[in-house]
Amino acid sequence: MRTIAIMNYKGGVGKTTTAVNLAAGLSRHDKRILLIDFDPQGNVDVSLKVEAEYTLYDALTGKVAIQRCIINLAKNLDVITSKETLVKAEHYLTMQETTKALLKDLLGGIRGYDYIIVDCPPSLGVLNQNVLAFCSEIFVPTSSDFLGYDALKKMKEIVVKINEKYNHHSKITKVIPTLFDRRNKICRETLMEIKELFSELTSDPIRVNSKLKEAPKYGKSIFSYARSSSGAQDYGLLAKNVIEMETIASAPLIEIVS
Ligand SMILES: Nc1ncnc2c1ncn2[C@@H]1O[C@H](COP(=O)(O)OP(=O)(O)O)[C@@H](O)[C@H]1O
Ligand SMILES: [Mg+2]
């Protein structure tokens, strides 16, 4: 089972869009997926029109077993959602002795999936510490502009530091340039710079596509909403590419980021 955090401390770079559509894309390749929203302002529930009786917060605080938070959404696609109460979880986690590994303990018993994908909040607080303790891979969506590139460089340094500090072993295994517009010089230059920094870990870019913005309004993934859009093509390709990585991902952990 691969555990992937969709993480960038910067907001608005396409984390939720990537988490939702990558999860949907992988499930269409017969991979069993659990998508977890770990953002207190998370929009996974809205994006996919899920109404959950129990959210992640209820499980984190011991109110219900984690299994009761899992909702089946489509063939091969299950979801655990979050809502604003997860902000309280930040406080709750800080009060616990084993703060950094609570999510790991909670999700450690979950079986039967090929992928667990976690949509992360745009911060580096205790919530994301927990995600890093649980996930072995980090995918970083990054906007294809100068500020996005700058944040990406910082993310690289931050992951190394956090791993050292807490003895985590999560690695950046994919960088996903988002909001890409080929006509825009800055986008083209930024893509080249990202490739220089992350070489083969850089995915093909996800182009700007208004259908990606519209799909959440209808509670659909891009594949259900606009099958022939460039957004569906790009996320479809990303899903294939992620599956192709499976042999590498299952190999013993190597220091990909140095
Ligand atoms: N490739 C894209 N083309 C057009 N709009 C996009 C694209 N990716 C994301 N968006 C839009 O940008 C906004 C921020 O995306 P989101 O995935 O919510 O980012 P984050 O989770 O990093 O804050 C949303 O309105 C989303 O619909
Ligand atoms: Mg988000």
Per-residue tens of pLDDT for the chain, all 258 residues: 999 999 999 999 999 999 999 999 999 999 999 999 998 887 888 888 888 899 988 998 889 999 999 999 999 999 999 887 777 777 777 776 666 678 888 888 898 999 999 999 998 888 888 888 889 999 999 999 989 999 999 998 988 888 888 788 899 999 999 999 999 999 999 999 999 999 999 999 999 999 999 999 999 999 999 999 999 999 999 999 999 988 765 554 444 444
How many whole angstroms separate alpha carbon 208 and alpha carbon 202?
17
| Ligand 1 atom having least distance to the Cα of 179 | 1
Residue 35 and residue 80 in contact, taking contact as beta carbons nearer than 8 Å: yes
Class (C level, CATH) for 2-216: alpha beta
Q: Where are the alpha helices (DSSP H) in the chain?
A: 15-27, 44-47, 56-60, 86-95, 102-107, 126-134, 146-166, 185-198, 210-214, 222-225, 230-244, 246-249
Compute, in angstroms, the gap from residue 121 CA to the centroid of ligand 2.
6
List the domain boundaries for the chain. 2-216
Structure letter (DSSP) for residue 141 = E
pTM over 0.75: yes
CB 121 within 8 A of CB 40: yes
Residue 105 C-alpha to ligand 1 middle, in angstroms? 31
Q: Which residues line ligand 1 (CB under 6 A)?
A: 11-17, 122, 178-179, 206, 208-209, 212-213
Q: Give the integer Cα–Cα distance in Å for 78 and 35.
A: 6
Distance, in Å, from the CA atom of 152 to the CA atom of 7, rounded to the nearest integer, reads: 10
Ligand 1 pocket mutation pick from 8, 9, 13, 17 by most atoms within 8 angstroms of CB: 17
